[in-house]
Chains A and B, each alone.
Chain A
Amino acid sequence: MTETRSRAFYILSAVFALYVLFLYGPTITILVLSFQGPSGGMTFPMNGVSLHWFHNLWAGIGVPNVVDALSNSLKLGIVVTIITVVISILAGYAFRRRFRGQDALFFTAIASLILPSIIVSLGIALEFQLFNQTITAWGDSLVENYVDIENPTAWTNFLGFIGSSIQDNFQTLMGLFTSGLGAHLTWTLPFGLLIMFAVFNRFNPAYEEAARDLGASPWQTFRFVVLPMILPSLIGVALFGFTLSWDEIARSSQAVGSANTLPLTLRGLTTTVTTPVIYALGTVTTAVSFAVIGTAILTLLIVQARRRRHGSDAGRGV
């Protein structure tokens, strides 16, 4: 086909190219600047090329340490990914059938996706503060009512012990893997759910019926028929789960307690650090994102290639 391109094509191609430059240009700039020489500053020109700022980064900057923040975010990201994939598959299955409260659940998921993150974050913070106040008050009342009383029994001693344990040890329920995890899930699960909707809307139930007719149990049907077919989409869900959690800042901001995630630490550092070490941290963070995106895309390509090779045997007259 040798259809000549219109003038609009070239103009729009130029617009697209400029947009891509706009999209990637700044990030590439800091990738380059993170290899700034030891005496170089935060802007061009480059004063030599070195790994100085990466060594600097590894030695640790900021309080709390960026390396801790990095490992916090990595751990949280992995947990969020696993939970997002599992819950999304289950919910995707549920939505294939009618059930009561279906619409309410769907609209809640959409609301969670679009309502301002600061509101969600504040809400979770308030909720956990109320939990904390309740637990503390309960501990106080137990101590007041059951410690040093006349005629103690084993039961009152036990209650008193719980009360004083709370007074001595309890600080907060808020944390990376309680409120922080929940805050991230409110952001990743709607994406997971929407992807599963897209998957199951195009999924032909005849495959499952065939598996059932051939004697497969529900688990076998899922494991050997459905799972291989929806695998590419699950990789997509996992990609969203990890990257959205890894980069999340607005919902984490009030909800992670005392442990900081990487984006929060980065934001803090922008006001205190005035050397290219912050670009080095940017490069490392972006490298992790790209490694994850690259792995996801590569896995997809491999799955597709395998499918082409082994393929379906439909129409081969077996």
Chain B
Amino acid sequence: MLDEKSRWTPYWQAAPLAIVFLVFFVLPLAITFMVSFWTYTGYSIEPALVGDNYASAFDKCIDSLPDLCTTFRTYLSTLKFCLMVWLITLVLGFTIAYYLVFEIKSPTTRIVLALLTTIPFWTSNVIRMISWIPLLGRNGLVNQALMGAGITHEPVDWLLYSSFSVTLSLVHINTVFMIVPILNSMSRIDKSLIEAAYDNGASAWQTIWNVIVPLSKTGIAIGSIFVITVVMGDFISIGLMGGQQIASAGKVIETQITALQFPIAAANAIVLLAVVLMIIWTLLRFVDIRKEL
């Protein structure tokens, strides 16, 4: 029996969550949108309704076509990292999830191995980036090994503080976001479907491509959304592993904040938000995420 009192119960139970998101997420986003039309002085931001910040975000972008302006080039480079990291984490994450679900028979072993892949997620990302320094640096282990083996005589420079190290570190940190959702989708696949495919003469690859991949679609989409949004907004890995020399959409915003150009940073944040939302919207057309819960 639902009496008058208990009808309100879910509201007060949900209230703390709603308040936190309202104050620290929804309102900040609204304020960012508002401030992106404001002006600023050296020490404060002033209400206005100007498009200057967007104009400066896209400074000379139309005039200089077909050459790419700084903003377009930054986004292009960020998208390139995105695509690269997405492809690698997808293949790696899918392979590992497949191994855990279909090749490991004992549930206990599966849990232990799955835990092994997730534990680093609970440790510090900054430290996991710093950890590459003794391996990839000029005098690092990799260079020592390469020179010791006589493959090169000079230490290889592009291992650290380069696009290579940024990609490596992003893959290192974000593959877990692919593994977990794909693992989740895959473990719900009815094993008899796989047997049926084999019995009907499908090869291993055909089974993977025509049975397992379509049935893991939701997991793949969720993992992709995670990885792509993280890389699109990244400024920590690109900063640290790129030796603060590589631009990214997130890093541009960070630089403008440091220079106290808040309204311009806000305009760039809104542009980034629009790009990310477009990507998510595209990915969501492939799946219904609520079905997964």
Closest Cβ of chain A to B158, distance in Å, is 17
| Residue A219 is within 8 A (CB to CB) of chain B in the complex | no
Q: B9: which A residues are within 8 A, CB to CB?
A: 93-94, 97
CA distance A33 to B31 in the complex (A): 46
How many B residues have CB within 8 A of the partner chain? Answer: 82
- Cα A29 to Cα B136 in complex, Å, equals 12
**Contact for A94 among B13, B44, B280, CB less than 8 A:** B13
B254–A26 CB distance below 8 A:
no
How many contacting A-B pairs (Cβ < 8 A)? 259
The docked-state distance in angstroms from the alpha carbon of A183 to that of B20 is 10
> Which of B17, B113, B229, B276 counts the most chain A CB atoms within 10 A?
B17
Number of A interface residues at 8 Å Cβ cutoff, please give it.
94
**B16 in contact with A26 (CB, 8 Å):** no
Given known contacts A30-B127, A91-B14, A243-B122, A118 and B254 CB-to-CB distance under 8 angstroms: yes
B116 within 8 A of partner (CB): yes
Chain A residues near B95 (CB-CB < 8 A): 12, 15
Q: Which residues of B contact A26 (CB under 8 A)?
A: 128, 131-132, 135, 172
Contact A267 B126 (CB under 8 A): yes
| Residue numbers in A under 8 Å from B229 (CB-CB) | 114-116
Whether B25 pairs with A120 at a CB distance below 8 angstroms is yes
The docked-state distance in angstroms from the alpha carbon of A183 to that of B21 is 10
The residue that A115 contacts in the complex, of B123, B175, B253, B276, with Cβ under 8 A, is: B276
Contact between B17 and A91, CB atoms less than 8 A apart: yes
**B residues within 8 A CB of A108?**
21, 25-26
Residues of A near B23 (CB, < 8 A) are 182
B116 pairs with A266, CB closer than 8 A = no
The answer for the CA separation of A33 and B141 in the assembled complex, in Å, is: 12
Complex Cα spacing A130 to B269, Å = 17
Q: A87: which of B16, B113, B254 is its contact (CB, 8 Å)?
A: B16
Nearest to A117 among chain B residues (CB) is B233
- Residue of A whose beta carbon sits closest to that of B124: A247
User: Closest approach, in angstroms, between the C-beta of A170 and any C-beta of chain B?
Assistant: 15
Q: When each residue 171-215 of chain A gets 1 if its CB lies under 8 Å from chain B and 0 otherwise, what string results?
A: 000000001001101100100011001100100000000000000
- Contact in complex: B28, A127 (CB < 8 Å): yes
Closest B residue to A24 by CB, please name it: B120
Query: Do B272 and A119 touch across chains, with their CB atoms under 8 A apart?
Result: yes
Which listed residue (A126, A186, A278) contacts B24, Cβ 8 A? A186
Which residues from chain A contact B236 at a C-beta distance below 8 Å? 249-250, 253, 267
Any chain A CB within 8 A of the CB of B144?
Answer: yes
Which stretch from B60-68, B96-104, B186-194 is at the chain A interface? Answer: B96-104
- Of residues 228 through 245 on chain A, the ones whose CB sits less than 8 Å from some CB of chain B are 239-240, 243-244
Q: Does A286 contact B (CB under 8 A)?
A: yes
B residues 159-214 in Cβ contact with A at 8 Å: 172, 175, 204
Q: Chain A residues with Cβ under 8 A from B287's Cβ? A: none
Q: Is A99 a contact partner of B11 (Cβ separation < 8 A)?
A: yes
B57 within 8 Å of A (CB atoms): no
B103 touches which of A9, A41, A270 (Cβ 8 Å) = A9
How many Å lie between the Cα of A282 and that of B240 in the bound state?
15
From A124, which residue of chain B is reached at the shortest CB distance? B28
A285 touches B127 (CB 8 A): yes
Contacts of B98 in A (CB 8 A): 12
- The A61-106 residues at the B interface (CB cut-off 8 A) are 86-88, 90-91, 93-99, 101-102, 105
Question: Which A residues touch B235, using CB under 8 A?
Answer: 118, 250
A123 at the interface (CB under 8 A from B): yes
Would B31 and A289 count as touching, CB distance under 8 A?
Answer: no
Known: A109-B21, A116-B276. 5 other contacts (CB 8 A): A42-B137, A44-B134, A91-B13, A105-B17, A116-B234
Instruction: List 13 A–B pairs whose Cβ atoms lie within 8 Å, in order of A's numbering.
Output: A43-B133, A44-B141, A87-B16, A94-B10, A94-B14, A116-B233, A117-B233, A119-B29, A119-B273, A122-B262, A126-B31, A249-B125, A285-B124
Using a CB–CB distance below 8 Å, which chain B residues touch chain A?
9-11, 13-14, 16-18, 20-21, 23-29, 31-32, 35, 44-45, 92, 95-96, 98-100, 103, 113, 115-117, 119-120, 122-128, 130-135, 137, 139-141, 144, 172, 175, 204, 225-226, 229-230, 232-236, 239-240, 244, 250, 253-254, 257, 262, 265-266, 269, 272-273, 276, 280, 289, 293
